Structure 1
């Protein structure tokens, strides 16, 4: 199934991009609050993996919805923390030198990848009628 392949591929790219961004967070350091750390762990890292697994099962639509929601919320979280709220996590407070360059690049890259994941999810939901089973 092509959608499962595309969905899984984008989840792997998402994990790499967010993993690199997390590495930059640690190295700079730009610490996360407890709430942010739990949010990142559950919504940004775990939910897309569960969604990718579901794309390969009879729960394909649930996987597509979970991928869409987790990616959309990930985009909102990234925009809010990197571009709206003024904090050490705001891109204007992180240098373009050393690990800061990785932070800056991945702050944008994660938005692009997660946007593409939303598009893949929407395409998947449009591709299969609601009452049709996909195996």
Structure 2
């Protein structure tokens, strides 16, 4: 579509020393935008923010709330104080300051390169301008 030739429905599992991260994306899901979420789960608790955009809901559950691992018991966390449509403002202001040289970027070029390398491996190499073989 529009010259982009990589899959738009991928699942990646990233393995860390003490954790696994599952990253899933699919633009063909019905109401996929409305269900964009961030979930952090561990053996003793889970935090879920869905959708990422406002208005959002955050829930929290740990072993003091749910006695059995498969119980659907959680507490709502009040996030109403998050201003609408400015979730990324501080990040973008920092990015601008890095570019302008008024603030030191805490991330090295090596870090950025490794992030891009992992993302490229996840999507199998982005081929925006790759010529098709006959």
Q: Shorter-chain TM-score: which interval?
A: under 0.3
Q: Which has the higher strand share?
A: 2
TM-score by structure 1 length? 0.24
Bigger RCO (CA 8 Å, 6+ sep): 1
TM-score by structure 2 length? 0.24
Q: Which has the higher helix share?
A: 1
* Higher-Rg member (1/2): 2
